[in-house]
Structures are given as C-alpha cells and as structure tokens.
Amino acid sequence: MGKIPQHLPPPHLRDPGDAWAVGPDGTKYWGAFGAAGLLVFHPEAGVLLQHRAEWSHHGGTWGIPGGAIRQGEEAVAGALREADEEAGVPADKVIVIFSHVKDLGFWSYTTVVVQASEVFEPVMGDSESEALAWVGFDLVDSFDLHPGFAASWPTLRERIDAHLGS
C-alpha cells in the first residue's frame, strides 16, 4: 500500500464534519460544520453538472460537486477539495468569482462559483457520481436538479451573466 498523502487523514479516521446536522424541526443536512459545492462554468461550455448517485441524498438528481466541510476548513477550500475528489476539477484551472451562502443559523451551504480558464474533461473520482457533463447555461433548467441547486440556480445564473456581461 502506498504512502497516504499528508493532506488526507488516515483511512481509519473520519473527519467529524462527515456527519448530519439536525435542524430544530428534525430535518437533516449533511455536514456537521456546513457544506460547500463548486459551481464551475466556462463561457462557451456552460456549467459542469454532476448526476448524483442513487444512494446519495437526493440521488438521481443533477447538481454540483460538493460535500461536508471538514473541521477547521474554509468553504472555498472544502468546495475545491470536494470537486477534485468527485469530478477531477483542477484547482489551477479555475478562478473564484464569488460565493453564495444559504445560512440556516445552525447549518450553512456555500456555493463557490468559479470560472474555468479552459474546458477540461471531468473525471469521476469516487462513487458519488453517475455522470459528469458540461451543460449549456440555457439547458440547466431542463435537468432534474437537486432541490437546493434548483432553488439557487436563478440567482447564481443572474450573477454569472452579470460577470460575463450578458
């Protein structure tokens, strides 16, 4: 067995962030310290979407790569880490444009929006994806979207359009 990279915990240690946060009404949200996702866009290719594995929360829907923030981790770092793990997003080929936070008081989800400097081939790095695809901006709404992403997409799209000057 090869040496474990220093930035990853040993396989027998699970980060305490990999747990459910439970709201006052009993609703569960993944990530004890919150969660973050990476919305990657390219002006010509559109948005990188992830078809979520059936076993995952809201499985079978389309969204963006993301997951639980680790203890002590900033949202941007967590989103970049998760997107690399799940979709092979190269951090050196994206530029952070803005972040959008949904804060419920006891839990938050940060969508980190990045622009790809070039179109890259996404790679499924774990079992959390059934497919990865670049989708044109105008086609995103035609997919069966993760409810959280569907709710935030109009605002995110508006801000991306403003950034691109469209």
What is the distance between the alpha carbons of residues 145 and 50, in angstroms, rounded to a whole number?
A: 10
**In a domain? residue 139:** yes
**Among 54, 59, 50, CA closest to 89:** 50
Contact between 64 and 101 (Cβ < 8 Å): no
Share of the chain above pLDDT 90, in %: 81
- Residue 125 pLDDT > 90, yes or no? no
Q: 119 is written with which tokens?
A: 């179109």
Residue 126 lies in a domain: yes
Residue 48 within a domain: yes
Q: How many domains does the chain have?
A: 1
Is 67 inside a domain boundary? yes
* Rounded average pLDDT over 77-81: 97
Residue 40 lies inside a defined structural domain of this protein: yes
Task: Specify the pLDDT at position 12.
Answer: 46
Mean pLDDT taken over the chain: 91
Which CATH number characterizes residue 127's domain? 3.90.79.10
Q: For residue 141, count other CB atoms closer than 10 A to its CB.
A: 12
Among residues 150, 34, 31, 43, which one has the least CA distance to residue 95? 43
pLDDT reported for residue 13: 57
Domain that holds residue 50: 28-164
Q: What is the mean pLDDT of residues 10-39?
A: 87
Residue 13 lies in a domain: no
Q: Say if CB 35 and CB 67 are below 8 A apart.
A: yes
pLDDT above 70: percentage of residues in the chain: 92
Q: Range with the lowest mean pLDDT among 1-5, 39-43, 129-133?
A: 1-5
The answer to whether residue 1 is domain-embedded is no
Helix residue ranges, H only, the chain: 75-87, 147-164
Q: Nearest-CA neighbor of 48 among 143, 164, 126? A: 143
pLDDT at 46: 98
pTM, 2 dp: 0.89
Tell me if 12 is assigned to some domain.
no
Predicted local distance difference test score (pLDDT) of residue 4: 38
What's the rounded mean pLDDT across residues 75-94? 96
Q: Which run of H or E residues covers position 125?
A: none
Q: What integer is the mean pLDDT of 35-53?
A: 96
pLDDT-derived band at 128, boundaries 50, 70, 90 = confident
